[in-house]
Structure 1
């Protein structure tokens, strides 16, 4: 057995007997009410720019049907609907409380006719093969219990020639950004999470899950092995965040 296989999964609640998937759902349900506020605060608002840049990477295919995986409170779904006014958006998430907030935001934006949100497991998507022109996921894949299974499901529901865009935290490698980044993520983020969300576990899980994620070339290699074509990676903000793009092979 490889050393990587021996490592226990990174989970929000170290003493819980629940699976990672169940723990992640519980965690996001518990912090749903403060999730958007903390995202803006912890990133100084730059997470909005990361999402916008990633969404624009779908422009080359002008998608008609888009799946937003791990949609959460529908931030990305709403941005997609505004960027691509011809598109229908389906958002899925395992945390029902996050979806409830998302549905309110969609209703307030009067986009109910174009955005549908539903509870679903990213590793067992309830859609037929070749159902979507594009699949988007922002800051969600590191929460998958089985990363390969989730990425394979995303590829399965893509139409031939369709495009996947995956936005996720990565790790800067240059001095002193690397050192400052780890200091902020390891110590300051959990402290802010405890004060504002009353949930230190969620914001201690964040840096741990980022550290364990196969970013950069490892992620490119994984996507290529699964079957994505023309996979590229772009780094944002000195490597704090990366976006991965890949296509489904034309039939």
Structure 2
């Protein structure tokens, strides 16, 4: 699909010989130590509310075994454990640096018996077919090198009747939110990234990757074409963020 081609064209370092996947792993390794702080700081804490709303979509399902893809430092997995109380959550990510910070948090919280973080690729998930009751992804699908392949892999390891919940940034369309958001994301976010995480490239990539990512009906169509059912999209905070839900 044309939307997927656009996603793959957006990379953190233009001209680099590294694949998008390798570039993403590199920048997240570099900013891992400040990632959680910057998330909350740059969203004014609203990202926590977004995560809670996304997890509410799984409350009626009461999943026992969950997979958190692109888990990063494990924030979403930790919140899922607190809100949904599954028996086990596995988080996978391609950034070893992010996972190390996540494991430290999980150990301090005494959740090592409930949450396991593993180095893993969304496009080649190392679990058998129909393993998980629910799969979550928070702010990670736009970083997939091959969006359709990653989504298809998640469907493969999801049990029949299981649910996928994706939380992802989107582009607001309402005046003046659209204009204010574009100003903030294009100028202030890269500046904050440079000052706080010493990585302007990572936070310049963020708004560009959001602009290129298929949203709303386009994303719903991709999920449906892959074989998901009951696909929905709910926008949050004037369209700055979206929750996509789909059932296997």
Q: Which runs of 4+ in 1 moved over 4 A?
A: 1-8
Query: 1:86, CA displacement in angstroms?
Result: 3.6
In the alignment, which residue of structure 2 is the partner of 1:131? 131
Task: Name the TM-score, length of structure 1 as normaliser.
Answer: 0.96
Q: Cα gap change, 1:44/1:124 in structure 2, threshold over 3 Å: closer, same or farther?
A: same
In the alignment, which residue of structure 1 is the partner of 2:170? 170
Query: 1:99, CA displacement in angstroms?
Result: 0.2
In the alignment, which residue of structure 2 is the partner of 1:227? 227
Query: 1:147, CA displacement in angstroms?
Result: 0.3
Query: 1:15, CA displacement in angstroms?
Result: 2.7
Residue 64 (1) aligns with residue 64 (2): yes
Q: Residues 9-55 of structure 1, C-alpha deviation per residue, up to 9 Å, x if partnerless?
A: 11111131100000000010000001011001110010011011101
Query: 1:7, CA displacement in angstroms?
Result: 8.5
In the alignment, which residue of structure 1 is the partner of 2:119? 119
Q: Residues 60-116 of structure 1, C-alpha deviation per residue, up to 9 Å, x if partnerless?
A: 210000000000000001001111224310000000000000000100110000101
Q: Cα gap change, 1:7/1:128 in structure 2, threshold over 3 Å: closer, same or farther?
A: closer
**3-state SS of the aligned residue for 1:154?**
helix
Q: Cα gap change, 1:28/1:62 in structure 2, threshold over 3 Å: closer, same or farther?
A: same
> What 5-or-longer segments of structure 2 have no aligned partner?
none
For residues 99 and 2 of structure 1, the distance between their equivalents in structure 2, rounded to whole angstroms, comes to: 32
RMSD over aligned CA atoms reads 1.5
Contact 2:3-2:213 at 8 Å conserved across structures:
no
In the alignment, which residue of structure 2 is the partner of 1:32? 32
Q: Cα gap change, 1:151/1:193 in structure 2, threshold over 3 Å: closer, same or farther?
A: same
For residues 85 and 131 of structure 1, the distance between their equivalents in structure 2, rounded to whole angstroms, comes to: 18
For residues 3 and 24 of structure 2, the distance between their equivalents in structure 1, rounded to whole angstroms, comes to: 24
Q: Residues 100-139 of structure 1, C-alpha deviation per residue, up to 9 Å, x if partnerless?
A: 0000010011000010100000000000000000000000
Q: Cα gap change, 1:128/1:179 in structure 2, threshold over 3 Å: closer, same or farther?
A: same
For residues 8 and 169 of structure 1, the distance between their equivalents in structure 2, rounded to whole angstroms, comes to: 17
For residues 76 and 234 of structure 2, the distance between their equivalents in structure 1, rounded to whole angstroms, comes to: 19
For residues 210 and 17 of structure 1, the distance between their equivalents in structure 2, rounded to whole angstroms, comes to: 23
Query: 1:5, CA displacement in angstroms?
Result: 4.5
In the alignment, which residue of structure 2 is the partner of 1:187? 187
For residues 5 and 70 of structure 2, the distance between their equivalents in structure 1, rounded to whole angstroms, comes to: 25
For residues 207 and 171 of structure 1, the distance between their equivalents in structure 2, rounded to whole angstroms, comes to: 9
Q: Cα gap change, 1:17/1:231 in structure 2, threshold over 3 Å: closer, same or farther?
A: same
Q: Cα gap change, 1:3/1:155 in structure 2, threshold over 3 Å: closer, same or farther?
A: closer
Alignment length (residue pairs): 248
In the alignment, which residue of structure 2 is the partner of 1:83? 83
For residues 125 and 86 of structure 1, the distance between their equivalents in structure 2, rounded to whole angstroms, comes to: 20
Q: Residues 165-195 of structure 1, C-alpha deviation per residue, up to 9 Å, x if partnerless?
A: 0000001111000011111001111011111
Q: Which has the higher contact order (CA 8 A, sep 6+)?
A: 2
Q: Cα gap change, 1:182/1:3 in structure 2, threshold over 3 Å: closer, same or farther?
A: closer
Q: Cα gap change, 1:42/1:64 in structure 2, threshold over 3 Å: closer, same or farther?
A: same
> What 5-or-longer segments of structure 1 have no aligned partner?
none
